[in-house]
Amino acid sequence: MCARYALFGPFPLGNLVPGFVEHVINPLAGFAQYNIAPSQVNPVVVAGQGGPGLESMRWGLLPHWARDPKIAYSTINARAETLVEKPAFRDAWRRGQRCLVPVTGWYEWVDLGGKRKQPYFLRAADGANPMMFAGLWSRWTDAEGRGVATYTVVTTEAMGEVRRVHDRQPQALPAEAWDTWLRAPVAEAVALLQPVVTALRIAPVGAAVGNPRNQGPGLVEPLEDAG
């Protein structure tokens, strides 16, 4: 499960597929959020006529038929194994409403027993920033007739070192798969949903990240380096 993540620069521009630097990475330059929580509005990459581009969307997918927006708290993640059938996600999947969620890293909590939990920050071992998570998006209309764009992060079974902190992981896509995820036919996109091992740096961080109101680079600082 991915219920909290961070996105902050600087964003290295190497090893990116053509078009993404101009249309996506450069506009992210001023964005810095160290504690992104469900229901917040964040940049998401969508396919556009002029190439991939950024759009602001609210985290927690609301299908067009949803009556209660509170269900968004249960749709921040979409399991790759069931998104084709699950009512909340299947329309977005069938319509090809796929997106990429740019992240610098994400948080997971490990139960230490009692009421104690230790947060960890996970980011690419090679310094890749941003990573791109597979996602789905949808547009929902509220009671006042206003359109709201929403998204979810696709997850798979945890692989490799991620298993130390959780049994699920966001599906991080390599740069060569970004355009395929955004634009390719469903048959090609579904092939990208197999669990993969991603080389990560996983480090314990302070408890302050538990409060979504807290922000700042100190939240991602490894405990052994703190102070």
pLDDT at residue 190 tops 70: yes
Please state, in angstroms and rounded to a whole number, the distance separating the CA atoms of residues 172 and 178. 10
CA-nearest of 25, 26, 19, 29 to 49 is 19
Digit-coded pLDDT (tens) for 54-68 = 999 999 999 999 988
Which of 55, 85, 108, 157 is catalytic? The answer is 108
Which pLDDT score, from 0 to 100, does residue 186 have? Answer: 92
Q: How far is CA 106 from CA 44, 62, 75, 116, in A?
A: 15, 22, 17, 20
Digit-coded pLDDT (tens) for 108-137 = 999 998 889 999 999 999 888 899 999 999
Digit-coded pLDDT (tens) for 18-39 = 678 778 888 888 889 999 999 9
pLDDT mean over 45-50 = 87
In this prediction, residue 205 has a pLDDT band, given cuts at 50, 70 and 90, of: very high
Top-confidence residue, 23 or 197 = 197
Classified by CATH at the fold level, domain 5-225 comes out as hypothetical protein yedk fold (3.90.1680)
Top-confidence residue, 4 or 144 = 4
Please state, in angstroms and rounded to a whole number, the distance separating the CA atoms of residues 103 and 136. 15
| Residue % of the chain over a pLDDT of 90 | 75
Which pLDDT score, from 0 to 100, does residue 227 have? Answer: 41
**What is the rounded average pLDDT for all residues in the chain?**
92
**Residue 144 appears among annotated catalytic residues:** no
Give pTM, 2 decimals: 0.94
Which pLDDT score, from 0 to 100, does residue 226 have? Answer: 42
Please state, in angstroms and rounded to a whole number, the distance separating the CA atoms of residues 138 and 150. 5
- Domain ranges, ordered by start, for the chain: 5-225
In sequence order, the 6+-apart residues with CB closer than 8 A to the CB of 154 are 77, 78, 79, 80, 83, 133, 134, 135, 136, 170, 171, 193
**Residue 176 appears among annotated catalytic residues:** no
Which pLDDT score, from 0 to 100, does residue 30 have? Answer: 82
Digit-coded pLDDT (tens) for 139-186 = 998 888 889 999 999 999 999 999 999 999 999 999 999 999 999 999
